[in-house]
Structure 1
């Protein structure tokens, strides 16, 4: 399913996105929403290529019609907060760990 055809992002969804603005510009990720409030992320391109983790502190919610927030606390201490706008093919993010603050923007490549 392409980003423009998404009805809802929920458990079982797989999304990929690329940061085009911010400290991780050029990085591409794939996120899979797992059962029981978990997700797995994988770095596909860029500085985190080949890295992955399963995270178990996750929230997914629709914050406006057609706009979804996916946020999680990584086991290494970073909080990742994504705002996904499939109708525009955009993703916005904030990655922080209490001392570091990385705002991002990018393009949503695919949701399935």
Structure 2
């Protein structure tokens, strides 16, 4: 498979990780949309969130809890942050390996775009 996020998760491509465990890795986005822009990705390849099913509930929860932990560690939790999932091209997904965006360090506007 030629998935850049799979290569990052397996350390085939070296990048500075903000967080890692047996289920997920987290790293800074190469095209940040906020002062803090972290991507949390599962080690397992899942192309879009449309592929989620009941068997993924633990992974989804783990990704969300990891994001909140990272927000606390980066000192953006108290001021506020945004968590974003994009799905497919019209939803803004550019890499087809699910990833959760953690955005913070500035005021977020609504609607988002």
- Pick the TM interval, shorter chain: 0.3 to 0.5
Higher helix share: 2
Q: What TM-score, normalized by structure 2, do the two folds share? A: 0.33
Q: Name which one, 1 or 2, has greater alpha-carbon Rg.
A: 2
Q: Which structure shows the higher strand fraction?
A: 1
TM-score with structure 1 setting the length:
0.33
